[in-house]
Structure 1
């Protein structure tokens, strides 16, 4: 716990969401329109051993990616709001919130990005807007870095291009590796009761909204521990900052500030400004009065930002 507390502990860790709740809980270290008509009803658009996607609505395409150990239900309210004018693709990452996992302790983030790219190609989507929360935001940025031709615009929701930067500006992927291994081992070693207790304890630091707190605990409990361990190990040692300077996809980085249990505004501004400094044209947007789950804690403000993102021309 010393490594986390030295750099702000729980306050900073709310920036990468459920990942921090897991680490704390187990006692480790802590838009273009697709041509042709589209259906307005839900469909199972895509199912694989890495990813499944539910589709609702019709119109220009928007892909919503949940974060670490989260369900696609974290986006349900926003998808329902948008479905009259947008075709919304609700992704669910394998291994999380009851979705099957068949890959042991193998790589997690890169294969998910690869599968999202395959989904966009196979479904014939034309440069959709991609919105990701937490680890989903990192995945969205990775997707845009590697496949700029496939992504129209990215919104990264309370997510940094290098998670372990939360521990200080001098930390690198290599120096974070021992702590990533420790976090993964802690996830795997915790018994059921201790794991649940940790999730309950960590939830208030991640959301003001009581229903979201309860839901995130259940999503974590239904997640495959091997998937969680693989994901946290990779997330803590993946640094996307070297690729920011060459990105051509517009990125909106939305982040939370909350003086009462979250990150103070000045701290959040400094962290997000520093970590996204290498991304030309990035739009940094702070949402006050929110913890990590911005869409739940400040739904009206988040909806306003989504509408602005969707309305802006390419």
Structure 2
């Protein structure tokens, strides 16, 4: 099933939304374990925002501007993505170490029951954090992500059956020439961001991500099935996902796919945002902000 190329697109090379020239983004301050840096803004209720595959925390710029007056935002940057320095993980993992780094950050900073919002790969990080550190989170919002990425292509897949394709994908990403990578990004970003104005920045910034980090993260996502772990999550989970008629399939099919994937989650709700591709926060910033504000004040 190829709906993932327009729905979650984690398997394509994503990038970041560049900061506005009129207001340069402050540099993040590295806190906690190797593998992440965190920019802290505002004061109030703690909200941790985790961007997706190859993305920078700048994808949250519009949302952060709306929230920082009344909330303390922790904007996570994953090492190796969007120009941030890469770190070497001997086992080649990216997602699981990011989860542990965020858990350590929460512990070391004394943050109590933060709201966690994760997009794409960041959504999978949020789910893993909620399942493996259930007492460290307050509520989870998963933005256009599934607990097992390969379901987008094969609804009967397992981590084992996904391994050959994941290996081939990793090898292809590592072997691609810069010209091939750029061409792939132009094609994939056109499917992932409906708003044409944001596409050039997404394509350009994606080239700054570390190739090995991307390849390792892609492999890990494709073979990691979090569905057996969802029952460990103790807090409410809301899944926000995109739909557009250009997908070429019925909205009901997308609704069913997300509900089926999360069926074992104890406390789950769903919100679909229409007329948007994968980058909901860029394609529909008003509707997305409304969803986040309602989520925070449930």
TM-score with structure 1 length normalisation? 0.87
1:129 corresponds to which of 99, 115, 127: 115
How far did residue 15 of structure 1 move? 2.9
Q: How far apart are the structure 2 equivalents of 1:283 and 1:42?
A: 35
SS of the counterpart of 2:62? Answer: helix
Q: How far apart are the structure 1 equivalents of 2:246 and 2:173?
A: 28
SS of the counterpart of 2:54? Answer: coil
2:4 corresponds to which of 2, 7, 12: 12
Task: Identify unmatched segments of 5+ residues in structure 2.
Answer: 15-25
SS of the counterpart of 1:21? Answer: coil
1:217 corresponds to which of 203, 207, 212: 203
SS of the counterpart of 2:135? Answer: coil
1:181 corresponds to which of 158, 163, 167: 167
Structure 2 CA distance for partners of 1:43 and 1:258, relative to 1, 3 Å: closer
1:80 corresponds to which of 60, 65, 76: 65
Whether the 8 Å CA contact 1:66–1:132 is kept in 2: the answer is yes
Cα-to-partner distance string for 1:77-109 (whole Å, 9 max, x where unaligned): 111110000011110001100011121671111
The equivalent residue for 2:296 is 310
Whether the 8 Å CA contact 1:132–1:155 is kept in 2: the answer is yes
TM-score with structure 2 length normalisation? 0.91
2:12 is equivalent to residue 21 of structure 1 = yes
Q: Residues 208-247 of structure 1: matches in 2 within 5 Å?
A: 208-247=194-233
How far did residue 20 of structure 1 move? 3.0
The equivalent residue for 1:62 is 47
2:36 is equivalent to residue 46 of structure 1 = no
Cα-to-partner distance string for 1:216-238 (whole Å, 9 max, x where unaligned): 21232000000001000000001
Aligned residues: 286
SS of the counterpart of 1:179? Answer: helix
Q: How far apart are the structure 2 equivalents of 1:243 and 1:91?
A: 23
How far did residue 261 of structure 1 move? 4.2
Cα-to-partner distance string for 1:97-150 (whole Å, 9 max, x where unaligned): 001112167111110000000000111111100000000000001001011111
Task: Identify unmatched segments of 5+ residues in structure 1.
Answer: 1-6, 24-40
How far did residue 215 of structure 1 move? 2.4
Q: How far apart are the structure 2 equivalents of 1:91 and 1:20?
A: 20
SS of the counterpart of 2:207? Answer: helix
1:91 corresponds to which of 72, 76, 84: 76
How far did residue 63 of structure 1 move? 0.5
